[in-house]
Amino acid sequence: MTWNAYNRRKEVLREILAIADKRRELSITELLDTVDGGREAYANETELLFDIQMNWFQRLSGQLDRQLSEGVDTPEIMAVSAWVNAASDMPGARALLDAQIDNPALGKAFVKEHTLLAASAGVPWNHPDLSGHGKRLQDSARESVVYAEPVEAESAPSGSLLSKLRSRAA
């Protein structure tokens, strides 16, 4: 992948996540078709889902680090709080990932998320049900998260910042 393709992909991902935060009812296919150049940046929905999941995982990891540095009461509370904070920060991404919970292509990624949560909560890495414990923590967090109401989308034309600037200059 060239730098231009990589940067374009990141730009499309940012636009898709911004739209998803405002319009959580849209499917992954609808979002991919909504953003200018979406189909050129991503060959299919699965590629986009992998990038969304990676973006989510990075946010969750950052929240876990933040919670750890702030010193929460128990490791379990820390893991649940981190997930809740990440989900509140990225409601569109979380909705898209939750809609794909049975997608076998994302199965390994979801197991890694559960493993990270469980290990962060103090479950030993060699525990036979490490992923299951993480799934239970995620379920507990999911019950606690409160999503803000989506902000009305602006009536500005869709598309990249560059295309908006070009249209204004013309």
Look at residue 1 and tell me whether its pLDDT is greater than 90.
Answer: no
Give pLDDT tens digits for 109-139: 999 999 999 999 999 999 999 999 999 999 9
Reading phi first (left if > 0) and then psi (alpha if -120 to 50, else beta), residue 8 is in: alpha
Predicted confidence (pLDDT) per residue in 31-84, tens digit: 999 999 999 999 999 999 999 999 999 999 999 999 888 877 799 999 999 999
Range with the poorest average pLDDT among 15-19, 31-35, 100-104, 148-152:
148-152
Average pLDDT over residues 7-16: 94
| Res. 161 pLDDT band, cuts 50 70 90 | low
Q: Which residues contact 61 (CB under 8 A, 6 or more apart)?
A: 116
| Buried residues in 99-135 as b, exposed as e (16+ CB within 10 A) | ebeeeeebeebbeebbbbbbbbbebeeeeeebbebbb
State residue 35's pLDDT score.
Answer: 93
C-alpha 3/C-alpha 53 separation (Å) is: 21
What mean pLDDT is reported for the chain? Answer: 88
